[in-house]
Amino acid sequence: MRYLRGIRKSAPLIGGWRSLTPGLLEVHVGQRNLNISRVLLNLIHISDTHICDSQSPARVEFLDRYADPHHPFSSILGSLVGTYRAQEFLTTQVLESMIQAINSIDSAPVSGMKISTVLITGDMTDNAQKNEMKWFANLLQGGTITPDSGSSLAWEGIGGSYYSPHYWNPHGTPIGEKDDFPRSLYGFPVIPEILDAARSSFSATGLRYPWLAVHGNHDALLQGTVVPDEFMRALAQSSEKIMELPDDEAINALQQVTEVGPARYPNPVAPIVTPATPDSTRDFVQGDSWDGFILESAESTSKKIKYWRKDYDEITLLALDTVNPFGGWQGSIDFQQFEWLKTTVESLRDRYCVITSHHPVEDIINGYTPHLESRILGVEIEAFLVSQPHVIAWICGHTHQNRISYHGPHKSSGFWQIETSSLIDWPQEGRIIEFLLTNDDEIYIALTQINHYGELRSDINEYSIQEVNDLAGISRLLSVNDWQRRQGKFAIESNEGNTIDRSRLLHLPKRI
């Protein structure tokens, strides 16, 4: 069962680079010998796949360098930017590798019973582009996928013909240039031809289980923050890609991008650009693009909305659409959706209820709206849900972290919030979640971490860039070596979570 194997980080080598090797199986934290009488639901949870067209002119990689530890502005900025990652061109291979791992799971590890569904809690795409959504859907459905855009003849994104020391250039240093910072300061390797290998066609396995998708901010907003408009639509499909901005313009642009809307893209005066092949598939996702997509296997009151309900024998999943359509990367819901939530939850008092969304309740803080009617924030949603004893869990993503927290005044009324890490950042994990009942109707929620099938090799030169699972393994290796996340409050260990945030058995007393 490769998906259950642990992964061990080596001690830092030259430049702080760390390798990865197989580790031990994780042991569940919590009570054993549960005396389970029946299974309410077993599902697999993944989140934040961030399928990325990393060659798109609508990306703003040039803003990310200001958070680099060696950059003078990073201490003033005091936060991550998140518009560039060395591994972002390998997202399709990572999801394919996770699908292979999921398909190998025949039963849940604690109950030994079948898996019913795969739940994907938002940010399926990285930049709300139609081609990113198409690649995501193709990976789940199976068949040939070509994760390429623009020119079929050359890589036109970061690390291609335009050389900048601020980015990882896997092909090495051109004559007359200095080594890039990721290689000279942080130990990153040279892997020639990997950019072309990453955009090559491969055969997607397809997911064997039914799946449910939840709307995330990166599925609707540019870089998960900015509302698409005609200017941005033209930029995404344009013949130029911005590679550099003057520092004053870039810093001003950073100040326009906020967690609470509205947010704006830079309209640069003097950018450095490179040619890009126009591609109409880079157009942005429209609201009706989700018709028949997230609703493929869930029930909703209307195709115009992106929140839904899915019933199983004794338990119901209720998905919220927490994306603020007016901008900002944090969440909120409108009054209509809150009324639907309250009415639906109150009508299900003889059933167990599980809430799911992209944002965790703490990040539903984005109340911005240009209209008179205010939006509903997490505090109000939480206050209602903790008054409903049959609501037992909230499953979400967004933070790219494994994190478990209890919300409620006491164990007889409240819910466990289960956050699962992303597939773009370390540790690129998912979870098996089992909802179980004892003979006395006590509730246990069994959580088990799973890894994708990306290869673990002792030497970077042993990876084959022609193999999908090797490319996924390289992505995971790059993610653990993110130079912005090696220490301090942003250290990648925060994404892993503590032991109690990972494989764990959660308990609730009888609720119904």
pTM for the predicted model, two decimal places: 0.97
3-class secondary structure, 310: strand
Of the candidates 95, 147, 160, the one whose C-alpha atom is nearest the C-alpha of residue 124 is 95
- Cβ 186 vs Cβ 86: under 8 Å: no
- Domains of the chain: residue spans and CATH: 2-148+194-508 (3.60.21.10)
Count of beta carbons in the 10 Å neighbourhood of residue 70: 11
Q: What is the pLDDT of residues 19-74, one digit of tens each?
A: 999 999 999 998 777 889 999 999 999 999 999 999 999 999 999 999 999 999 99
Query: Among positive and negative, which fits the CA dihedral 479, 485, 490, 492?
Result: positive
Of the candidates 211, 235, 213, 250, the one whose C-alpha atom is nearest the C-alpha of residue 68 is 250
- Cβ 61 vs Cβ 254: under 8 Å: no
Distance (Å, whole) CA 470 – CA 474: 6
Judge whether residue 239 has pLDDT over 50.
Answer: yes
pLDDT at 278: 98
Judge whether residue 302 has pLDDT over 80.
Answer: no
pLDDT at 61: 96
Burial 233-268 (b: 16+ CB within 10 A, else e): eebbbbeebbbbbeeebbeebbeebbbbbbbbbbeb
Judge whether residue 412 has pLDDT over 80.
Answer: yes
On average, the pLDDT of the chain sits at 94
Three-state SS string across 381-418, please? HHHHHCCCCCEEEEEECCCCCCEEEEEEEECCEEEEEE
Phi, psi of 392 (to 5 degrees): -115, -15
Distance (Å, whole) CA 271 – CA 10: 40
- To the nearest 10°, the Cα dihedral for 219, 220, 224, 230? 130
Query: Which range among 229-243, 295-309, 372-386 shows the weakest confidence by mean pLDDT?
Result: 295-309
Judge whether residue 286 has pLDDT over 90.
Answer: no
Q: In what order do the strands lie in the sheet with 308-311?
A: 308-311, 315-319, 352-356, 391-396, 413-419, 403-410
pLDDT at 305: 85
Distance (Å, whole) CA 225 – CA 127: 9
Judge whether residue 255 has pLDDT over 90.
Answer: no
Distance (Å, whole) CA 411 – CA 200: 51
pLDDT at 301: 47
Residues with Cβ within 8 Å of 226's Cβ and at least 6 positions away in sequence, in order, are: 232, 257, 263, 264, 265, 327
pLDDT at 290: 60
Q: What is the pLDDT of residues 101-111, one digit of tens each?
A: 999 999 999 99
Judge whether residue 214 has pLDDT over 60.
Answer: yes
Tokens of 495: 């994404």
pLDDT at 289: 61
Q: Which of the listed ranges 156-170, 253-267, 277-291 does the model predict with the highest average pLDDT?
A: 156-170
